[in-house]
Amino acid sequence: MSRLHAPHYLQRLHNLPLNDEAWQEITASDMMDIPLLGNITAGMPIEAIADCGTIAVPTRMVRRNTYALRVRGHSMINCNIHDGDIIIIERSESAENGETAVVMINQQEVTLKKLYIEKSGVRLQPANDSMAPIYLKNADIEVLGMVMGVVRGNTVTH
């Protein structure tokens, strides 16, 4: 799939909660391909289905074990992550309280949410006031990665 307009690249600023002020736009120089592994829902969890391709991103957005997912849904709009964006993920097995993470539920469904560890278990909190949180037991979830960047706009994927 090929589109004509240049995308915008947003890199997450360190030590800031994920919201509109947590991003820095960077220029598209020194590009490299990373795996685009499919879709992630910003809404109700969906079945994890691998869909391999690649996307070119600025090298400064790439760390060890970096991959990309296309966002479907509107639950993370208050974190400046919108339907159709491609998020850049750093693979990680843990997340700090309040971090925006890619989470696998019951080894079959994936979602993008803010993760909160509470006495009764885990709360997966949307960043959209019109959507309800998801409450789970600690054993029901697995953190797959942390959001480190966003590619917005028209992109070229391979």
- Supply 142's token pair: 């697995």
Catalytic site residue 75? yes
- Give the span between the Cα atoms of 88 and 61, in whole angstroms: 8
Residues in the chain: 158
- Give the span between the Cα atoms of 60 and 57, in whole angstroms: 8
Residue 65: how many other CB atoms lie within 10 Å: 11
Q: Which of 29, 75, 94, 130 is catalytic?
A: 75
- Among 103, 109, 100, 111, smallest CA distance to 147 is for 100
- Give the span between the Cα atoms of 153 and 11, in whole angstroms: 14
Q: Which of 92, 94, 113, 137 is catalytic?
A: 113
**Catalytic annotation, residues:** 75, 113
